[in-house]
Amino acid sequence: MTQHATIQGHVTYTPGDGVPLTIPEGLVEIDLAADSATISWDAGDNTGGLTAIPRDEYDRYVREGKIKLKD
């Protein structure tokens, strides 16, 4: 089930073996699995951003208030 949330702080993901990239602050959609969270956002210019992060990272960002879930 898709959840809506807001990125409200420094949240990053690492594509492959690359350097960490920042997910822009603003509205996102999140799909949770047992081991990961898939996050999608509007990257502007009719493009979207999409990444998956480990579930423990996602849980930490939520605890720290960097990802705020919508009711």
Structural domains of the chain, count: 1
pLDDT, position 47:
87
Alpha-carbon gap, residue 2 to 21, rounded angstroms = 23
- Strand-pairing partners, residue 44, are 47
Residue pLDDT, tens place only, 8-63: 999 999 988 889 999 999 999 999 999 999 999 998 888 899 999 999 999 999 99
The two structure tokens encoding residue 20? 């960490």
The two structure tokens encoding residue 66? 């960097």
Whole-structure pTM value: 0.91
Whether pLDDT at 71 is above 90: no
Identify the DSSP state of 8. -
pLDDT, position 3:
95
CB contact burial 11-37 (16+ within 10 A = b; e otherwise): bebeeeeeeeeebeeeebebeeeeebb
pLDDT, position 67:
98
Question: 37 is in which domain, residue-wise?
Answer: 2-69
